[in-house]
Amino acid sequence: MKIAIPENFVIGAASSAWQTEGWKGKKEGQDSFIDSWYKNEKFVWHEGYGPAVATNFYENYTQDIALMKEIHLTHYRTSINWSRFFTDYEELNVDEEYAKHIDDMINEQIQAGVEPMICLEHYEVPKYLMDKYDGWSSKKVLELYVKYAKIAFERYGDRVKHWFTFNEPIVVQTRCYLDALRWPHEQNTKKWMLWNYHKALATARAVEVYHQLDLPGRIGCILNPEMVYPRSSSAEDQKAAEIYDLFFNKVFFDPMITGVYSKELIALCQKHDIYFDPTEKELATIKANTVDFLGINQYYPKRVRAPRYQWNEETPFHPERYYESFDLPGKQMNNSRGWEIYPEIMYDISMYLKTNYPPIPWLITENGMGREQEERYKNKDGIVQDDYRIEYISKHLYQLLRGIEDGSTCEGYMLWAFTDCVSPMNAFKNRYGLVRIELDEKRTRSLKKSAYWYRSLVDERLLSLSNVEEFK
Ligand code: BG6
């Protein structure tokens, strides 16, 4: 049996600048935060690969856009690399060579019938702004970001109709300053919350500027809410899930959709001395400039239970004081990535948004399956037979379509990723693409079986339930 995909439902794919571009043409002093992580801690990057060459999209973009056209892709999202967009981040001197690359890429996409969607920051905050102002800890960086956003809107806003202020604005500070898993391994929970706040405020400011320019498009942010499931029906486990949801999901949903932070979150921040002390004017800006739409990245569920042990009061505050991760026996796994596979997250996020917030247009901006050693699955013609990816997408898409049936305002599904690309740390270990990238000098491309299948999905707009059943 096949189910119909609604007429205007977007079926696209995504990536980011730093994960594809490579450093060709990059000038002295144009490192991003992620570039400096790679330079400082190269040994944690799988087999030493990283942003330096990536997929060399900077030179290969016409080839990739031709492949998009070949599989009839209608939407592609990437980012502008903020760290490469200027030669001076305070004077805001644009690097015209890089800016022209963005222009050419956008034009090439449009000519190929692929609508460009652009994100202003996918972890590419300039190293210079980190060194001088401690990055998103600083209001100065916020001001410089808003000016950068305005320049980007003015240059490309006539052709780009979908803008995102950030990709997953919570991630960098969670890995670096809350969990201290990543370079520079500085544990600082107050800074974590301040970065969260400044990125919400920066989004509101960018939304304000975008609307003032009266351009023919819309602006939002890409969030990565984790659908959180309590271990049990006990009041304690339920409470653990609610607090997780506050700190990691509502912390962005509330200001961006309703323009107001929840009282519960503010009380918890004050109690644990991680409050971000907003001014009245800032709160008014957030209130007046909510997003037009949202991108949602969804990969795995988060399962929690009430903590079994008392918090060590001698350690810095962490929201984990209120929850403990729960490992569900029998869960399905993508063992390459270490993430649980639970397609119901797509239906559940749809109902979560419908229930908790006023109607807002949104789309899945990332979902996908990273798989190790995909060369194992090449057939005699060298085409990767990634049936597991087809099944994964089908099952997730099915749950998303169920959500639409039940009244969600979801407008589309964009796969991570169009081509294989560099992951933070895992580099090319797990392959996500519809397009295979060989790690030869040319970064040779080839379509996988899933690319041909995706083309038929775009053409026929019918999802085969046999792919869903097979996977059960
Ligand atoms: C998303 C990010 O969280 O997940 C991407 O926006 C990332 O940048 C993707 O590549 C997949 O995760 P990972 O860690 O396997 O690359």
pLDDT tens column, 45-69: 999 999 999 999 999 999 999 999 9
Residue-wise pLDDT tens digits, 108-165 = 999 999 999 999 999 999 999 999 999 999 999 999 999 999 999 999 999 999 999 9
Q: How far is the CA of 283 from the centre of ligand 1 (A)?
A: 31
Say yes or no: CB of residue 127 within 6 Å of ligand 1: no
Sign of CA dihedral 230, 342, 196, 408: negative
Query: What local confidence, expressed as pLDDT, does residue 465 receive?
Result: 86
Give the closest residue (by CA) to ligand 1 atom 5. 423
Q: Across the chain, what does the average pLDDT equal?
A: 97
Nearest-CA residue for atom 7 of ligand 1? 423
Across 326-349, average pLDDT: 97
State whether residue 304 is helix, strand or coil: strand
Task: Provide the percentage of residues in the chain whose pLDDT is more than 70.
Answer: 99
Residue 1: what pLDDT?
A: 84
**CA 445 to CA 437: how far, in whole Å?**
5
Indicate whether residue 420 lines ligand 1 (CB < 6 A): no
pLDDT 10s digits, 224-262: 999 999 999 999 999 999 999 999 999 999 999 999 999
Report the first-to-last Cα separation within the chain, whole angstroms: 15
Whether 366 sits among the annotated catalytic residues: the reply is yes
What pLDDT score was predicted for residue 470?
55
Q: Would the CB of 295 count as within 6 Å of ligand 1?
A: no
**Each residue's pLDDT tens digit, 266-298:** 999 999 999 999 999 999 999 999 999 999 999
Nearest by Cα to 335 from 366, 308, 370: 370
Which of 108, 320, 366, 391 does the annotation list as catalytic?
Answer: 366
Query: Is a pLDDT exceeding 80 seen at residue 469?
Result: no
Instruction: Give yes or no for residue 334 CB within 6 A of ligand 1.
Output: no
Residue 471: pLDDT over 80: no
Q: How far apart are CA 37 and CA 18, in angstroms?
A: 12
How far, in Å, is the centroid of ligand 1 from the Cα of 79? Answer: 14
pLDDT at 468: 76
Q: Which residues contact 316 (CB under 8 A, 6 or more apart)?
A: 187, 188, 189
> Binning pLDDT at 50, 70 and 90, where does residue 467 land?
confident
Q: Is the CB of 124 under 6 A from ligand 1?
A: no
**Secondary structure percentages of the chain, helix, strand, coil, to 5:** 45, 20, 35
Q: State the catalytic residue, choosing from 168, 282, 374, 391.
A: 168
One-letter identity of residue 401: L
pTM of the shown model: 0.98
Q: What is the CATH number of domain 2-471?
A: 3.20.20.80
